[in-house]
Amino acid sequence: MRILLGVSGGIAAYKVPSVLRALREDGHAVRVIPTRAALDFVGRATWEALSGEPVTTSVFDGTESVDHVRLGREAELVVVAPATADLLARAAAGIADDLLTATLLTVTCPVVLAPAMHTEMWLHPATQRNVATLRERGVHVIDPAVGRLTGADSGPGRMPEPHQIVDVALAAAGASGATDRDGGDLQGLQIAISAGGTREPLDPVRFLGNRSSGRQGVALAATAAARGAQVRLVAANVDSSVLGVVPDGVQITSVETTAELQEAMLEAAASADVVVMAAAVADFRPAQTRTEKTKKHADGSVESLELVQNPDILAGLVSGRREGQIIVGFAAETGDADGSVLDHGRAKARRKGADLLAVNAVGADVGFGDVPNEVHLLDASGSDLGAGGGTKDDVAHVVWDAVVRLLSSRSGSETPTVSTSAAGRLSG
């Protein structure tokens, strides 16, 4: 695929060579178009060396080939990272005072913008209006992440991580992009994924919940979409900054409680080829939800809380599974006196009966090595199908690679279609 990578003048530009590298390693031809200010952060030589293509900033360079028109016509995907407040404003207004903004006016392919700026600039009504205008025109503007900004400040405005930008961009490019990247090996599949953690209300202001951010489920959704699947994401209390990297085209249903998650997943599973339960589900809920705020007694004591068990959604999905449907569960385990992480994982795999259970170690007792997040994949009998890991995206690809192998073996194909980019991720 021919990709234009625009870079505008923000400090986050220093991370964008990683975006360029990832796109190149996936086999795409990438032409970088920085703004003049962007070159103050990362120089022309870096972009030229990493892209293998000439780098120009002005419409007066390359006039013999009318670059802004030619590049725009040839492009199959445009990614701008970081997109500063100024770049968003110029793009929204249709101003064309450099090669990047002039090219944005000539392209007809998908355009993905990854904003990065201080929180005040992001939240300013002018910027929000510009983002709304661009979105109305079909431009995919990724919500910035919440986190540390240039100075001591932190808040919404941080550029999403390079791998997230790449996933969103390739998913936005649609099936053709996915085909180039991963063989589009999930194309034609409907996949339902749960993410986040359920909350059980005690009263109007309190709930029982857990710390799940939803990032693993969101990574599963983004990577599945990038590999060509039609994805439905059921998000339990996932922050909008985390959901911001979910590509267009992924249908999101937001839920709060286990009962709501169960209803949404049962509905999504009815037409899904693959179902993944990545959400952390509250095992118990209060027997009663009060309509008024629970008060302390005059002596400072509180009534004890009666809990009732929630349904096991995964077990229900397994018992009601459609023919041929693949069901995947996740289990975060710690080792203890009764057994290792894998012992507990194997017992859970047999108990749950899912086709795949992705088991990872959590807490101080990390039993699987020192990569950020390593999973062992177990089948329904508890047999180890291999391990892999790294980032949440890497873990997601490990899961999809296993799903692809399972589908291939079921269809009797002699040469399982394991994606090339995923080759080597799973070592068993």
Q: Which is nearer to ligand CTP, 30 or 277 (CB)?
A: 277
> How many whole angstroms separate alpha carbon 109 and alpha carbon 103?
11
Q: What is the number of H-type helices and E-type strands within the chain?
A: 15, 19
The burial of 336, by beta-carbon neighbours within 10 Å (0-12 exposed, 13-18 middle, 19 or more buried), is given as exposed
Q: Give whole-number Cα distances, 137 to 30, 112, 211, 313, in Å.
A: 24, 12, 36, 39
CB of 316 to ligand CTP, least distance (A): 8
CB of 387 vs ligand CTP, minimal distance in Å: 18
For ligand CTP, give the closer residue by CB, 242 or 314: 314
Comparing CB distances to ligand CTP, the nearer of 179 and 289 is 289
Decide whether 21 or 321 has the Cβ nearer to ligand CTP.
Answer: 321
Q: Among residues 310 and 373, whose Cβ is nearest to ligand CTP? A: 310
Query: 167 near 222, Cβ under 8 Å?
Result: yes
Contact 289, 256 (CB under 8 A): no
Q: Which residues make up the interface to ligand CTP (CB under 6 A)?
A: 277, 279, 281, 283, 310, 312-314, 329-331
Q: How far apart are CA 194 and CA 398, in angstroms?
A: 17
- Rounded Cα distance, 387 and 377, in Å: 6
Q: Tell how strand 326-333 and strand 230-236 pair up.
A: unpaired
Orientation of helix 125-136 relative to helix 85-93, angle to 10°: 50
Rank residues 267 and 283 by Cβ distance to ligand CTP and give the closer one.
Answer: 283
Q: Cβ atoms within 10 A of the Cβ of 7, count?
A: 31
- How far CA 292 is from CA of 142, 205, 288, 304, in Å, comes to 39, 9, 12, 16
Q: Considering only CA atoms, which of 160, 11, 139, 14 is closest in space to residue 78?
A: 139
Which of 103, 198 has the CB closer to ligand CTP? 198
Q: Which helix (H) or strand (E) holds 281?
A: none
Enter the DSSP assignment of 224: H
**What 8-state DSSP symbol labels residue 112?**
E
Q: How far is the C-alpha of 34 from the C-alpha of 56, rounded, in Å?
A: 7
What CA–CA distance (Å, rounded) separates 180 from 420? 10
Least distance from ligand CTP to the Cβ atom of residue 396, Å: 14
Q: Please identify which of the residues 210, 310, 360, 373 carries the catalytic annotation.
A: 210
- Residue 283 host element (H or E): none
Residue 210 known to be catalytic: yes
Helical H runs in 270-419?
Answer: 313-319, 341-352, 392-410
Cβ-based neighbour number of residue 27 at 10 Å: 11
| CB of 141 or CB of 218, closer to ligand CTP | 218
Q: Which residues are catalytic?
A: 210
